[in-house]
Amino acid sequence: MGESVMMRFAFLVALIAGVLGLTGPHSALAADAAKRGDLTIGKAWVRASVGAATGAFLEIRNDGEADRLVSVSSPAAPDVRIHVTVKDGDVMKMRDVDGIDVPAHGAVALQPGGYHIMVMGLPKPLKEGDTLPLTLHFAKAGTVDVVAEVVKPGAMGAGAMGTGAMGGGDAPDHAMGDHQHMH
């Protein structure tokens, strides 16, 4: 009888390990998420670029006290800024911002048509399938490294996200360089 119990226990352990393998670090959500303290950064993506500039987008979830994204950098580009899209008459314009508040126990989506990361001075265009490393600098949490997936120009989200949570209607296409800065 002891052997039967051991076999059942071994089977149960193997079954649990298999289930955890399906939901653990190899799952789509975990694979593209980075965590630092109470912050989880996920769904990072960037549009393929035609020229030296493009927009990057992601989601920040905060399970703790309020924090602030104060800057972003990348070893792949000399000029990375946090922008917001604003409507000025009939024209959508980009404006530099000095940071984005991340509310306690809340979330912020950087998406087309709203807050986003502007990556400028790329030495070569980004192609679909490439990746772009980004370092997010937070006031309290410190730095968080993420890798953004490069998707086709005009895309509204990474992978199969389509225009769901990251959708943005009339957003300008950064990959085509049609943005104007307001300082």
Query: pTM for this structure?
Result: 0.70
Q: Phi and psi at residue 103, in whole multiples of 5°?
A: -65, 150
CB neighbour burial string for 59-77, b if at least 16 within 10 angstroms, e if fewer: bbbbeeeebebebbbbebb
pLDDT tens-digit profile, the chain (183 residues) = 555 544 444 444 343 333 333 333 333 333 468 999 999 999 999 999 989 999 999 999 999 999 999 999 999 999 999 999 999 999 999 999 999 999 999 999 999 999 999 999 999 999 999 999 999 999 999 999 999 999 988 766 654 333 333 333 333 344 334 444 444
Q: State the DSSP code for 8.
A: H
Contacts of 175 by beta carbon, 8 Å cutoff, 6+ apart = 47, 48, 49, 50, 51, 54, 55, 153, 154
Kind of pairing, strands 142-151 and 39-47? parallel
The angle formed by the CA atoms of residues 160, 166 and 167, to the nearest 5 degrees, is: 95
39 forms beta bridges with: 36, 62
